[in-house]
Structure 1
Amino acid sequence: MVGLVFLEAPGLASMLSPEMFDRLCAAGTRMSYADGALVQTRGDARPGLSIIRGGAVQIGNPGHDGSFVITSILGPGHCFGEMTLFGDLPRTHDAIAKGATLIDHVSPAVYERFAEADPTLTRAIMTMMARRLHALLEFTDDLRRLPLKVQVAKLLLATACDGRVDATQEEVAARFGVSRVAIGTALRALERDRLVKRGYGGIDVPDGAALARWIEQRAVLAPIPG
């Protein structure tokens, strides 16, 4: 099971009826990817919707030093490639399988057939894209305005499941495009305030409400001038 989904937006599966989601996936072409396999590359013009059924996918691009800077990690029920359907745009990021991964690739023709039969599909995609854009704008603002430890705290709060984030410090560092040392420093600061606890292969968030209050005290925006 994938515990970490860096994208703070709902997956397609949560926005469709189970019957509709299963039928859409079944109409696609299922592909199996081994851990570390390349699913797509930046600039790939192949159109269609890619739906994750098992495993996970890291979305990102290489950094100037050869590292892989992760934009998001998507788990089962999430999808990518919607910009190729609605904007006729090439794919903007590399996608790499994280663990053994199954993906149903839905062609534009199949998507159009389903969308014409049931308009709720396109409404779900549009809602999902709007929420992704909202999360992206929030993240961009955080990068420009907040100290790294506050950015990390917001990520941990958003992605914790039952009080735990199943992510290594390297994965968190890749999310922000910084070194593991920088993330370690941020996490130590949060640990000193007893807001998180580092463990093997993950980070515990013992009191989400306390972490939320801590973030609110440090991330309040100034009023917009009238």
Structure 2
Amino acid sequence: MNTPILTIDERHNIDAGAWFSSLSPTLRAAILARATVRRLADGASLAARGTPAEDWVGVAKGAVRVSSVSLSGKQVSLTYVEPGTWFGDIALFDGLPRTHDASAHGATTLLIVRKGDFRELLSQHVELYDALLRLNCRRLRLMFNLIEDLNTKPLAARLAKQLLLLAKSYGIEQGEEIRIGLQLAQEDLAQLLGASRQRVNQELKEFERDGVLRVEPARLVVLSREKLMAAAER
């Protein structure tokens, strides 16, 4: 099989991913040899809740919005899968349907490994089992930390922590400023935090007054990483 054709930036995003870069060169090459490229326009659906799991997915560009539907029928954002991240393996392991909806957020490039190829990789590379076990342990730890924050930290601290994560994953440094490349409406940010848009708007204005960040029409710009870190530790 041939290595999928990606742009230089897309290939860099895959190779630089913390999990993927920790694999042996042999396993990385084997995964890429079985992957195909899929490019999605903003808002295009990747998977729907309740459908059979058929793919293991790596994000090479853009982001994947993982969402659910509330009791009122509203689509609620749960997380955004960043470039360099692989996901979808849990449903391939347990054979159960997808648990959430997934769609492209912005123009998005994905590497797709079909279920049959994923199983072949597992059978031929024992290393992959161990690597995926470590990956899912990390996901569990992050989930427990999120639950702890939700129950123990004020909204300002949770917002600051979320902005630090976004700056790390999507930050574009311009001098001392960090421009967050992922475009999120305040409603989307509020959904990630389990808060109302009005409360998030109030906290963002407070951060602006304190010189922590600047709110632009389509971007958030971090002015002081140190102040943002201090706010996250309150």
Q: What TM-score do you get using the length of structure 2 for normalisation?
A: 0.77
Give the match for residue 130 of structure 1. Answer: 137
Superposed displacement of residue 92, structure 1: 0.9
Superposed displacement of residue 29, structure 1: 4.2
Superposed displacement of residue 72, structure 1: 1.2
Q: Among residues 33, 47, 64, which one is paired with 1:26 in the alignment?
A: 33
Structure 1 stretches (4+) deviating beyond 4 angstroms? Answer: none
Instruction: State how 1:205-220 maps to structure 2 within 5 Å.
Output: 205-216=222-233, 218=234
Q: Among residues 46, 53, 57, which one is paired with 2:53 in the alignment?
A: 46
Superposed displacement of residue 93, structure 1: 0.6
Q: Among residues 167, 183, 187, which one is paired with 2:204 in the alignment?
A: 187
1:83 aligned onto 2:83 = no
SS at match of 2:43: coil
Superposed displacement of residue 188, structure 1: 1.4
Partners in 2 of 1:91 and 1:114 — Cα distance? 21
Unaligned runs of 5+ in 1: 3-9, 219-226
Identical columns (%): 30
Partners in 1 of 2:107 and 2:221 — Cα distance? 25
Superposed displacement of residue 170, structure 1: 3.1
Give the match for residue 179 of structure 2. Answer: 164
Q: Among residues 137, 162, 177, which one is paired with 1:155 in the alignment?
A: 162
SS at match of 1:194: coil
Partners in 2 of 1:76 and 1:22 — Cα distance? 18
Relative to structure 1, the CA distance from residue 21 to residue 200 in structure 2 (aligned partners, 3 Å threshold; closer, same or farther) is farther
Contact 1:11 1:128 in 2 (8 A): no
Relative to structure 1, the CA distance from residue 55 to residue 158 in structure 2 (aligned partners, 3 Å threshold; closer, same or farther) is closer
Partners in 1 of 2:218 and 2:117 — Cα distance? 40
Unaligned runs of 5+ in 2: 1-8, 11-16
Partners in 1 of 2:229 and 2:219 — Cα distance? 19
Partners in 2 of 1:102 and 1:215 — Cα distance? 32
Contact 2:53 2:92 in 1 (8 A): no
SS at match of 1:138: helix
SS at match of 1:127: helix
* Greater relative CO (CA pairs within 8 A, separation 6+): 1
Partners in 2 of 1:136 and 1:37 — Cα distance? 27
Relative to structure 1, the CA distance from residue 173 to residue 115 in structure 2 (aligned partners, 3 Å threshold; closer, same or farther) is same
Contact 2:59 2:83 in 1 (8 A): yes
Give the match for residue 220 of structure 2. Answer: 203
Superposed displacement of residue 20, structure 1: 3.7
Aligned residues: 210
